[in-house]
């Protein structure tokens, strides 16, 4: 095959490119210039896509004796990832920019260009596997669950998956990847993994947003609407937050209060007791499937749901249905007509904790990735059982 290897400058993409070459494919390396500040250098393991990273990628391509190019996707990245991140926070949602980058840049803009240039597939250093199933290609978790990245790839469509090549999916540990890189003479064998949001390398999301969005003071209220205090800007709060509320007086029961939700239209931050963070149902739109499911999504089906990249999946049931008018919230996108509704199987799992609208939920059937959706609403747990929240056993919400 003719393969375009996306080379970030890290050890994973370097070994992925090396394995593609070793497998006999015709490989061309490309580094995506995403930063609008090309002089920026990586600090330790924070950030990515810097000048330093592009030079590392170029050295690896030279070692592998493959052509290498740098493609400037900074404008597209700004529009589809950075601007989306800002607008989601402005709308009271908590986005995942890594999923947006995979959806819009690495497996849309890059893949489209690769196919137009005659490439058969794009290879990346993601830890996931692709197999041929009874209804077409399927994406599954990597063999190394500790490094599994199928969650952030949950936005891939069946058409995109047909042109994806993940050479690292069957490798059982990152240590083996580093050891292989060292054996191959790849200089980035011990380079730290990047973390945090790449365009906020110092990790200060609130400070970064403050420079781009105006803070508008508003009310801090309880679920009944009673005003408890004031905030200096709702975008600075996240669901599950306890510190920094500055309400000034304790709750009636003397227990701490937590951010339960953010209401963008009224500019209110809603707070309440810890047990209200326990969620038994999530629902949302902006959904996509990684392949043909093989069954009718309108019929309730058993699955597992994962709401964060490093969270454990929990058993659940799900269905795709029209959005009911009485359940539509101000966080639903106006154009959305259908949503995926997921109920946690409380006989086999605890409720989800601290779910924020804007997060991505990825659905699995076994190790297979079925697809994903963006959470628009979360329903607190209610029932007769008690629930463990943050180490405390709490009585159920009535």
376 and 248 assigned to the same domain = no
Q: Is residue 208 part of a domain?
A: no
> Which residues belong to the active site?
101, 198
pLDDT at position 393: 43
pLDDT at position 199: 85
247 and 295 assigned to the same domain = no
387 and 339 assigned to the same domain = yes
CA dihedral sign, ordered 321, 158, 358, 396: positive
285 and 253 assigned to the same domain = no
pLDDT at position 202: 78
Q: Is residue 207 part of a domain?
A: no
Q: Is residue 200 part of a domain?
A: no
Q: Residue 347, SS3?
A: coil
257 and 358 assigned to the same domain = no
pLDDT at position 246: 77
Cα gap 327→336, rounded to integer Å: 13
CATH number of the domain to which 166 belongs: 3.40.50.620
Interval 50-102: pLDDT, tens: 778 889 999 999 999 999 999 999 999 999 999 999 998 888 888 889 889 98
pTM for this model (two decimals): 0.88
CB 355, CB 239: distance < 8 Å: yes
Cα gap 181→162, rounded to integer Å: 27
Phi and psi at residue 111, in whole multiples of 5°? -65, -40
252 and 349 assigned to the same domain = no
pLDDT at position 116: 96
61 and 181 assigned to the same domain = yes
Question: What is the SS3 string spanning 119-161?
Answer: CCEEECCCCEEEEEECCEEEEEECCCCCCCCCHHHCCCCHHHH
239 and 219 assigned to the same domain = yes
Angle subtended at Cα 330 by Cα 327 and Cα 333, rounded to the nearest 5 degrees? 90
313 and 255 assigned to the same domain = no
**Two tokens at 272?**
């309440």
Q: Is residue 203 part of a domain?
A: no
pLDDT at position 354: 83
304 and 254 assigned to the same domain = no
Q: Is residue 334 part of a domain?
A: yes
Q: Is residue 197 part of a domain?
A: no
CATH number of the domain to which 240 belongs: 2.30.30.280
**Of the candidates 272, 291, 320, which is a domain's last residue?**
272
CA-based nearest residue to 368, from 45, 134, 32, 206: 134
**Of the candidates 272, 290, 311, which is a domain's last residue?**
272
> Could you say which residues of the chain have pLDDT below 70?
36-49, 195-196, 382-398
Interval 362-387: pLDDT, tens: 999 999 999 999 999 999 886 544 44
CATH number of the domain to which 331 belongs: 2.40.30.10
CB 51, CB 57: distance < 8 Å: no
263 and 294 assigned to the same domain = no
221 and 298 assigned to the same domain = no
- Residue 241's domain comprises 214-272
Q: How many domains does the chain have?
A: 3
**Of the candidates 256, 272, 288, which is a domain's last residue?**
272
């Amino acid at each position: 095959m003719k393969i375009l290897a996306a080379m970030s400058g890290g050890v994973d993409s370097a070994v992925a490119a090396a394995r593609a070459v070793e497998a006999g494919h015709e490989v061309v390396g490309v580094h995506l210039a995403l930063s609008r500040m090309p002089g920026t250098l990586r600090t330790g393991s924070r950030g990515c896509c810097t000048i330093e990273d592009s030079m590392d990628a170029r050295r690896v391509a030279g070692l592998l004796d493959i052509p290498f190019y740098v493609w400037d996707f900074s404008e597209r990245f700004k529009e589809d990832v950075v601007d989306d991140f800002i607008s989601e926070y402005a709308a009271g949602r908590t986005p995942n920019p890594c999923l947006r980058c995979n959806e819009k840049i690495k497996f849309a803009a890059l893949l489209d260009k690769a196919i137009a240039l005659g490439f058969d597939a794009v290879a990346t250093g993601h830890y996931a596997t692709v197999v041929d199933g009874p209804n077409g290609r399927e994406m599954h978790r990597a063999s190394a669950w500790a490094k599994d990245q199928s969650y952030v790839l949950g936005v891939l469509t069946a058409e995109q998956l047909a042109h994806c090549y993940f050479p690292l999916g069957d490798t059982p540990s990152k240590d083996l990847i580093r050891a292989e890189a060292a054996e191959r003479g790849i200089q980035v064998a011990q380079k730290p993994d990047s973390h945090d949001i790449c365009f906020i390398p110092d990790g200060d999301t609130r400070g970064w947003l403050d420079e781009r969005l105006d803070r508008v003071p508003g009310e801090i209220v309880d679920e009944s609407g009673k005003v408890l205090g004031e905030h200096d800007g709702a975008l600075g709060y996240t669901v599950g937050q306890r510190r920094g509320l500055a309400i000034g007086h304790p709750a009636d029961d003397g227990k701490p209060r937590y951010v339960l939700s953010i209401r963008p239209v009224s500019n209110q931050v809603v707070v309440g007791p810890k047990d209200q963070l326990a969620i038994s149902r999530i629902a949302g739109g902006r959904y996509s499937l990684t392949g043909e499911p093989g069954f009718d999504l309108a019929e309730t089906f058993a699955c597992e749901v994962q709401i964060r990249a490093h969270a454990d999946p929990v058993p659940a049931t799900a269905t795709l249905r029209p959005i009911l008018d009485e359940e539509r919230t101000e966080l639903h996108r106006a154009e959305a007509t259908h949503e995926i509704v997921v109920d946690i199987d409380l006989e086999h799992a605890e409720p989800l904790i601290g779910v924020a609208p804007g997060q991505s939920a990825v659905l699995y059937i076994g190790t297979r990735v079925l697809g994903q959706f963006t959470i628009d609403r979360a329903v607190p747990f209610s029932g007769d059982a008690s629930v463990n929240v943050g180490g405390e056993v709490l009585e159920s919400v009535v």
